Amino acid sequence: MNEKKKILIVDDDKFLLNMYSMKFDKNGFEVKVASGAMDAIDILKNGYKPEIILMDLIMPVMDGFSMYETIKKENLAPGALAVMLTNQGLVSDINRAKELGVHGYIVKATTIPSEVVEEVIEIYQKNKGK
């Protein structure tokens, strides 16, 4: 990846936000973090245009599904790839994510951070070309 890809990481867990922020930064991404769905929506409404939105599913106020529905409905991140990063591994959640048009679904509990970065890069390349 020559030019830095912009990624918005949305999670209510500050520790995870910091850790993933460092991991993606080290892998050549321009990272912006949001500590919840409302924060993420504000960042997008203020003009940030990420290529990738990596979002948690379970967050206070608004969950990842509702957040992504809002982003799509209001066209806040046209062309951005959506990747769920969650501890929810239920088939019903995975199916709902697919129905919403999410490009990737990663279960935190079974994936170490460096694998998350690799998977996101893979999802990006598969959907956007190299």
Q: What is the pLDDT of residues 44-54, one digit of tens each?
A: 999 999 999 99
The span from the CA of 106 to the CA of 89, in Å, is 8
The whole-number average pLDDT for the span 72-90 is 94
- Per the structure, how many domains does the chain have? 1
pLDDT at position 109 is 87
pLDDT of residue 17: 95
pTM, to two decimals = 0.94
> Domain residues for 68?
5-128
Whichever domain contains 88, its CATH number is 3.40.50.2300
Per-residue model confidence (pLDDT) at position 119: 96
pLDDT in tens, 11-39: 999 999 999 999 999 999 999 999 999 99
Other Cβ atoms less than 10 A from the Cβ of 84: the count is 25
- Cα–Cα distance for residue pair 124/104, rounded to 1 Å: 9
